[in-house]
Amino acid sequence: MNSTTKKDYWVIGFLLFLCLVPSIAGVIRISQLITGSGYTVENQRFFNDPIPVLIHIVAVLIYSILGVFQFVPGFRTRNLKWHRTSGKILVFFGLTTAISGLWLTLVYPKVPTDGDWLFGIRIVVGLWMLVCVALGFIYALKNQFKIHSHWMIRGYAIGLGAGTQVFTHLPWFIFVGGDPSGIPRDLMMGAGWLINFLFAEWMIRKK
């Protein structure tokens, strides 16, 4: 039976670090919506219809943080019962993340900082995550666990896009300043998901 190695702890630490900034931002957003503080023109859509965004934030928080421990070999091997139980929870919150993200994109009004490309990018990303998590669950039911793990890696990588987007925006904040808008914002947002997608495919082929 495998034990949790030093490498496993590095993986846990890295993934939790990637979840950190989006998690803090999510908690702040929840606090604002509950207390009614921080209202601006840019975020008024959240205050006008808070339930969908609250569902999305909670789903992303649970999916991203709980999912960290699904991808650590030593921890997973020593806790197979926990892996299966939490995996079912993650499927629910992964699907909820994807569906609520698509709903927010389709129903919420477009904000001035978003360019024309970002709408399409979000639709593609949301549908891809939905397919990945659904296929991962289907292959688990078929006991095809290798293929199951591949699709779950893909879905989780997309779910962590917000963490990578912190770093794709960082050069703009350092060298330009202010909040990006239009095509630069679209490219930086898309780059976060693309980097995670490519890294997931590299991991799958490495395995």
The domains of the chain are located at 6-206
DSSP 114: B
Q: What is the pLDDT of residue 1?
A: 44
Per-residue pLDDT tens digits for 137-193: 999 999 999 999 999 999 999 999 999 999 999 999 999 988 899 999 999 999 999
| pLDDT exceeds cutoff 70 at 126 | yes
Per-residue pLDDT tens digits for 53-64: 999 999 999 999
| CB 166 within 8 Å of CB 21 | yes
pTM for the model stands at: 0.90
Residue 89, Ramachandran bin (φ over 0: left; ψ between -120 and 50: alpha; else beta): alpha
Alpha helices in the chain (DSSP H): 6-35, 44-48, 50-67, 73-78, 80-107, 116-141, 145-159, 161-175, 182-206
